[in-house]
Structure 1
């Protein structure tokens, strides 16, 4: 009898537990279903007035359409939905501009509304002191003014021409040594170290590495490359801000570690200079001296504290070295794949300069085909394929569509370089398209804006243009180049690594022969 009673009680208890669980679970499931449906219809309603774009899925929106090459994915979508396109990426409304006319709307006609940038979660606290990410305001303008007047102003660049000649000559000598030993030249690496040491001479009055130090130079290049990848890679934290604190992909932790490696180097330079000042050593009058003077003067707007100096140097070294070297590597790659273009640029150099004389910056204006090669490289391989994303500060109408406040804006310069309405045979490397055609790289002509446009245009553009032309011209004028036999048979791997910059996935290694 007791056993029967126990079984009955146990059975009743189990039924009660199941009933209780079901009574709790069904409302939860119903609430979840209603929430998802409500969210879907809410976002569908919000799309009214936005530019056209793909229909978003619940929760993830159109994230599944991005892939690991967002610049290419957005370009393909723009062919379907138009050059002004909106997407919901996770919880974020995103707008993509993929033609010169649309880019002009954002970067020129309505530049004030889009003059602040979206800050990737991976950048962490460094964004609070970085010229790249600071919002448009007094502090950003003060730091930008220091860079514009004391580092990249034309009169300053003219004064420092001897440094660039010296670094380019070191590059030529290094390539000559490799050629004599029959060794292949890693074009991207030698261009990177040349740009890096030019920047370090300008800022610190000394080289941070040298072309013959494979270990340290490769390590430095890898750190900078990894920074660009970590800052530019698609990140769940950016698409779902509510999850940002978890740093699910670890990009914030990785970038903090990479920044720390650079900051240790910068701290050594700053501390050494401060000790020298205390000991009464002779001033170097470089950019570091100027910044330390400004810090001592107590400029409250710029606030040149240690964190700001670290961020400023990180911006200069990462962006300056990486983008210039990448452009030289892509240009050399395209020329090696196009023997006719290589012959034309080399013939021009031989006629105007000759292999026995070193190229000066004043010679660049007499080399129109070389300039066309650089422009064509920028068109096909822009250093920053999506620029740095902008952030809408207010609701605004663009070309009849509503761009809501808080929207993220990508300007797809990679897609613009392949716009059939602007360029004939856009996939073909053809420098001749720029002969007799005036195209301003400095943001005045939106057909080609590798450095961006408007008030957030790249401040280092004047130096980058000089360096890219000088390095490429000197390498082509002093050496003939060919691909290794295996690469010649199989073809050059043109795969890209996407990040803030568009790097060549497989480094270009070529064989140089002195002329």
Structure 2
């Protein structure tokens, strides 16, 4: 028998308090009855598969009617999912409300599902920022949906963010990276140490605004646009993903309360960004989307959703990957020394600073970045996908309509693919000279931080280039050293403290010292 007071108490922790709560018990009772009827009907009329011949996908205990396992996931669901994987194996079925979510933590299975079976597992869910701006159950995510309209929009993004396209922005990328490194050194001198994450995020927003949206970007950390994005980005991504399995409750809650959707607060500044992009003298994403408006009936909410997703997803992923890289390097002065030596050799040979096109001449950096992204990937999970048809993988039946999620952290630490996965060893990638973009598109079984093959993140090349610029400029001038605590002890970043920010994971609060090298080649 369901314990409704307990469920209500749990629900209060998820939904903000308001006049809606007193009616929730009655609504829950009605919903439970409806859910029971739906389950019976669905089980009675399910497909023609003989399920007895398939292996059973294990399900964790503790699922309750209507809510499923949602109440057990806590503030960071990835931690609970990881526990269940350890107990039950590499594939799990988790009940998210009345939906089945299949979590995969095996690199081989993920490769089969998202690469070999990508035509059956490529439908994306509608819970990213497009859903929150657009409103309603059928709000579209900007990237990845499988109909013609969204394929063409994705093509615009892929074309605009491709390696050949963003080469025109190399000077801008270098300039923004230089500003960021100068600030990190300056703040270290002024305060003894610096939290690099804010400056990395600022850098990320500016390169997206300048390279993709045709405008100058934010002027400082106090710029209204930057502050708005920082106050809203993690909120609205979590807002939509948490509420989706019981979206009808959220609609009732908003009806009976005065709560304002975080995305409503972001819509106005996004409109200002869009209008500036239209007035810009340079080609940009908004202008490209405007060309598709009549053919695909794209409205301003769609364009705001795509712009918001580009800004926020880009900022989160890029800043997370860069922050983890700097935090990891702080723990490995020997790796810093090897990397600095490689960069210095290039500068002495060519009388200039390296650009991303020079990556083949910096093989140690290439292996280092891949190992950083494997060791601490910027996301816990890949973008959830829906199975468009029944899928059989290693004799597990994944029914049509199931949501499939790759557990990126678990896959990156799969003992069957990576030897000693808990050790940081850049040399493990020494024979892989590909860029991240090439490796992801070719379906590397050891590297999923930016997605799978045809479903890779559209901004992967831009992210790879800007991480390159920041890390190489830092290492050509500085050593990255731990902050010094009040007791005089070195205070290293805690690499086991990951914090969820929207769809990404960043290191817990940490500070570093960027100390200029006395033997630097560039003064």
Q: Name the TM-score class by shorter chain.
A: 0.7 to 0.9
2:91 to 74, 84, 101: 84
Residue by residue over 1:199-219, the C-alpha shift from the partner in whole angstroms, topping out at 9 and shown as x without a partner, is 212234332213xx23228x7
Please report how far the alpha carbon of residue 224 of structure 1 lies from its aligned counterpart in structure 2 after TM superposition: 4.4
* C-alpha contact (below 8 Å) 1:330/1:504 kept by paired residues: yes
For 1:157-172, what aligned pairs fall within 5 Å after superposition?
A: 157-172=166-181
Report if aligned partners of 1:152, 1:460 keep a CA contact under 8 Å in 2: yes
Partners of 2:192 and 2:509 lie apart in 1 by 18
Q: CA deviation at 1:228?
A: 3.5
Deviations 1:29-71 (A, max 9, x none): x999999999999999999755122245331433354232222
Q: Which residue of 1 aligns with 2:461?
A: 462
* Structure 1 residues 359-407: Cα deviation after superposition (integer angstroms, max 9, x where no partner): 3223222112212221112112222221111112223322212212221
Length-normalised TM-score, structure 1: 0.80
Instruction: State how 1:350-389 maps to structure 2 within 5 Å.
Output: 350-353=344-347, 357-389=352-384
Provide the rounded CA distance (Å) in 1 between the counterparts of 2:291 and 2:283: 13
In structure 2, the CA distance between the partners of 1:180 and 1:64, relative to structure 1 (3 Å rule), is closer
| SS of residue in 2 equivalent to 1:484 | strand
Partner in structure 1 of residue 236 of structure 2:
230
Equivalences for residues 131-142 of structure 1 within 5 A: 131-132=141-142, 135-142=145-152
- 1:454-475 per-residue CA deviation (whole Å, 9 max, x = no partner) reads 4332111121111111211111
User: Which secondary structure state, in structure 1, belongs to the residue aligned with residue 479 of structure 2?
Assistant: strand
Structure 2 partner of 1:403 = 398
* Partner residue in 2 for 1:486: 485
Partner SS, residue 87 of structure 1? strand
Indicate the residue corresponding to 2:515 in structure 1: 512
Is 1:209 matched up with 2:215?
Answer: no
Q: Distance in 2 between matches of 1:342 and 1:68?
A: 35
Q: 1:293 to 1:416 in 2, by over 3 A?
A: closer
- Is the counterpart of residue 145 in structure 1 residue 155 in structure 2? yes
2:276 paired residue among 260, 269, 276:
269
Q: Distance in 1 between matches of 2:99 and 2:153?
A: 30
The equivalent of 2:288 in structure 1 is: 291
C-alpha separation in 2, matches of 1:311 and 1:483: 39
Instruction: Tell me which moved more, 119-128 or 130-139.
Output: 119-128
1:502 deviates by 0.9
> Could you tell me whether the CA contact under 8 Å between 2:478 and 2:514 is conserved in 1?
no
Q: CA deviation at 1:330?
A: 0.6
1:108 to 1:148, Cα distance in 2 relative to 1, 3 A: same
Over the aligned positions, Cα root-mean-square deviation in angstroms equals 3.6
Q: 1:389, 1:410 within 8 Å by CA — same for their partners in 2?
A: yes
Distance 2:227 2:366 in 1: 27
Conservation of the 8 A alpha-carbon contact between 1:121 and 1:237 = no
Identify if the C-alpha distance between structure 1 residues 375 and 78 changes in structure 2 by more than 3 Å, giving closer, same or farther. same
Tell me, yes or no, if the aligned pair for 2:100 and 2:402 is still in contact at 8 Å: yes
Show the 5 A alignment for 1:41-190: 50-59=56-65, 60-120=67-127, 123-126=131-134, 131-132=141-142, 135-149=145-159, 151-179=160-188, 181=190, 184-190=193-199
Correspondence for 1:323: 317
Q: Is the 1:381–1:414 contact (alpha carbons within 8 Å) kept by the matching residues of 2?
A: yes
Describe the SS at the equivalent of 1:215.
Answer: coil
Q: Does the CA-based 8 Å contact 2:318-2:467 persist in structure 1?
A: yes
The answer to whether the 8 Å contact 2:236/2:263 transfers is: no
Q: The residue matched to 1:94 in structure 2 has which SS? A: strand
Secondary structure of the 1:449 match is coil
Deviations 1:340-369 (A, max 9, x none): 222222222223335984332232221122
Aligned: 1:246 with 2:252: yes
CA distance in 2, matches of 1:262, 1:98: 39
**Partner Cα distance (2:446, 2:393) in 1:** 19
Q: Give the aligned partner of residue 433 of structure 1.
A: 428
* Structure 2 CA distance for partners of 1:333 and 1:385, relative to 1, 3 Å: same
Q: For the structure 1 residues 262 and 508, does the alpha-carbon distance in structure 2 shift closer, same or farther, using more than 3 Å as the test?
A: farther
**5+ residue gaps in structure 1?**
1-29, 274-282
SS in 2 for 1:402: strand
Deviations 1:195-248 (A, max 9, x none): 2222212234332213xx23228x726724742453246855333355342358
Cα–Cα, structure 1 residues 472 and 262, in superposed 2: closer, same or farther, change >3 Å? farther
Per-residue deviation, 1:180:
5.1
Structure 1: which 4+ aligned runs deviate by more than 6 Å? 30-48, 248-252
**Greater CA radius of gyration, 1 or 2?**
1
Q: Which moved more, 1:485-494 or 1:42-51?
A: 42-51
Shift of 1:270: 4.7
Structure 2: gaps (5+ residues): 1-28
| Aligned position for 2:499 | 497
Matches of 1:331 and 1:317 in 2, distance apart? 21
Counterparts of 1:34 and 1:322, CA distance in 2: 40
Distance (whole Å) between structure 1 residues aligned to residue 212 and residue 191 of structure 2: 35
Tell me the residue number matched to 1:442: 440
Out of 133-142 and 54-63, give the one that drifted further. Answer: 54-63
- The offset of 1:320, in angstroms, is 1.7
State the TM-score, normalized to the length of structure 2: 0.78
